[in-house]
Chains A and B, each alone.
Chain A
């Protein structure tokens, strides 16, 4: 009986020690983990009416660090909502917190993906093109 009680207490101690191992938190209140993955896995563009304006799939090149996306003819490029899916625990800089102006096609928007361990940073360029009449 004594052995059972001893084992139980020992188990509790082990659990509490594990629980005390906390990950640090960054300036955005996000966990800094051990992951070094750093990439964009998918990309979406919504118009001012929150409908998809993308034509075809966005081409994400994780070597060249580019996202090439074509949007519908007549899309209001000044009022777009980009949506990024990133590697686990990674974050985006700058944050997307509303409409983004993609109208300057000569100077495409750039976004930095920061890995979960905050040690890897990759600088992506989002190239938007507009569907043309045939």
Chain B
């Protein structure tokens, strides 16, 4: 009985082994026999007026069917100046001499091969005409977000045509564009006056002529016993925090300020860091319990602020402080709250 039972199990086992050894034959999948396309969005983060939205648009057809004739992108809202479609197809270099240019480049370099004539933009449409006999290409598209797109959604239709008359298209979006406004690389010199509402730096005379516009005063002070350093102070703050400065008459805005060392916005920090300050951050932040000054600001730190009239909230990122020159370079994102 024990032998019969054992033989039965052995038979079952062998059956499984034989069945498992039957391998399905692999067949190399065939590519599409027509013009195909695909697209990815390359840029990350919230969409802010003045910034780019970047895409990579790929198109190909079998070599025996013809070559690519043209590629174009139609945006639902015309892009701002600087919007373009690359006329080069890029690959990642493995290092050494670049065949197309003869230059020596490091491995990992982004190498562009010209495949078309430089793009032509006409209102909402940006187009590249291929000049090289190529059946596959990936072109990058950079859309500069225009002022007209603020608070709206923008979408894109990518399309390609081939020499055999075929055409394809690919829709991307819609993408919401925030209401945030941005200005980068503003240089503040010692005792200068800054307006959030018009993104302008004033000297004393200009500030005196526009007292209602001045939200902040930039000071650099080296004071014994304390860390004052580079500071942003409201004109209406206690004079203790405006040492050595006589504020022109009429400047009394009290801007609430909160220091923040962790929110290093990528848009403001020259594409470093992975943090983005978005509309919702500025809408939701409550600064009413915060003081009217931010002292001892350092490289890569920042402040959140709300103007005295409650009209604007903003985030200021410190790009660079210069102790020798007594200056500070900042980049700002602001949101109109009304």
Name A's B-contacting residues (CB within 8 A): 47-51, 72-74, 76, 78-79, 131-134
Can you list 8 contacts pairing A with B, beta carbon distance less than 8 Å?
A49-B258, A72-B296, A73-B228, A74-B226, A74-B293, A132-B226, A133-B224, A134-B224
The answer to whether A49 and B259 touch across the interface, beta carbons within 8 angstroms, is: yes
**Interface range, B side:** 10 to 19
- Contacts A72-B296, A74-B241, A79-B289: A50 and B224 contacting too (C-beta < 8 A)? no
Which residues does chain B contribute within 8 Å of A78, judged by CB atoms?
A: 289-291
Contacts of B241 in A (CB 8 A): 74
Tell me whether B94 is interfacial, beta carbon within 8 Å. Answer: no
Verify if B176 is at the interface (C-beta below 8 Å from A): no
Chain A residues with CB under 8 A of B291: 74, 76, 78
> For B225, what are the chain A residues with a Cβ–Cβ distance below 8 Å?
73, 131-134
- Complex-state Cα separation, A72 to B225, whole angstroms: 10
Residues of B within 8 A of A51 (CB): 259, 261
Are A131 and B290 in contact, with the CB atoms below 8 A?
A: no
Q: What's the Cα separation between A132 and B259 when bound, in Å?
A: 20
Partner of A72, one of B223, B227, B260: B227
* B98-125 vs A, Cβ < 8 Å mask (1 yes, 0 no): 0000000000000000000000000000
Give complex CA distance A133, B293 in Å.
17
Residues of A within 8 A of B261 (CB): 49-51
Chain B residues 285 to 321 lying within 8 A of chain A, measured CB to CB, are 289-291, 293, 295-296, 301
Q: Which residue of B lies closest to A78 (CB)?
A: B289
**B259 contacts A48, C-beta separation under 8 Å:** yes
B229 CB → nearest A CB, Å = 10
Q: Are B260 and A133 in touch, CB under 8 angstroms? A: no
A-binding residues in B (CB < 8 A): 223-228, 241, 258-262, 289-291, 293, 295-296, 301
Q: Which residue of A lies closest to B243 (CB)?
A: A133
Specify the chain A residue showing the minimal Cβ separation from B298.
A51
Chain A residues, Cβ within 8 Å of B258: 48-49, 76, 79
A69 to chain B, nearest CB (A): 16
| CB <8 Å contact, B262 and A49 | yes
Q: How far is the CB of A46 from chain B (nearest CB, A)?
A: 11
Q: How far apart sit A64 and B227, CA to CA, in the bound complex (Å)? A: 31
> Which listed residue (B223, B290, B301) contacts A133, Cβ 8 A?
B223
- Which chain B residues border A73 with CB–CB below 8 Å? 225-228, 295
Report how far A78 CA is from B291 CA in the complex, Å.
Answer: 9
Give 7 nearest A-B pairs by CB, closest first.
A134-B225, A73-B226, A134-B224, A74-B295, A49-B259, A49-B261, A76-B291
Complex Cα spacing A72 to B297, Å = 13
* Inter-chain contact A74/B228, CB cutoff 8 Å: yes
Of all chain B residues, the one with the shortest Cβ separation from A130 is: B226
For A47, the chain B residues whose CB sits under 8 A away are 259
Closest to B294 in A: A74
Shortest Cβ gap from B190 to chain A (Å): 18
> Is the Cβ of B289 less than 8 Å from the Cβ of A131?
no
Q: How many Å lie between the Cα of A12 and that of B301 in the bound state? A: 60
Q: 8 additional contacts, CB 8 Å, given A48-B260, A50-B261, A74-B228?
A: A49-B260, A73-B228, A76-B258, A132-B225, A133-B225, A133-B226, A134-B224, A134-B225
Closest Cβ of chain A to B292, distance in Å, is: 10
Question: Which residues of B are found within 8 Å of A50, using beta-carbon distances?
Answer: 261-262
In whole Å, how far is A61's beta carbon from the nearest beta carbon of chain B? 25
Query: Once the chains are docked, how many angstroms separate the CA of A132 from the CA of B225?
Result: 7
Residues of A near B262 (CB, < 8 A) are 49-50
Residues in B neighbouring A132, C-beta threshold 8 A: 225-226
The answer for the CA separation of A50 and B227 in the assembled complex, in Å, is 17
How far is the CB of B230 from the nearest CB of chain A, in Å?
A: 12
Q: Across the interface, do A74 and B296 meet the contact criterion of CB distance under 8 Å?
A: yes
Closest to B224 in A: A134
What is the bound-complex CA distance between A50 and B225, given in angstroms? 22
Q: Write the nearest CB–CB distance from A7 to chain B, whole angstroms.
A: 37
Q: How far, in angstroms, from A32 to B94 measured CA to CA in the complex? A: 64
B224 contact set on A, CB distance < 8 A: 133-134
Contacts of B289 in A (CB 8 A): 78-79
Q: Considering the chains assembled together, what is the distance between the CA atoms of A131 and B226 in angstroms?
A: 7
A51 to B262, CA, bound (A): 10
User: In the complex, which residues of chain B have a beta carbon less than 8 angstroms from the beta carbon of A74?
Assistant: 226, 228, 241, 291, 293, 295-296
Closest-by-CB residue of B relative to A134 is B225
Residues of B within 8 A of A131 (CB): 225-226
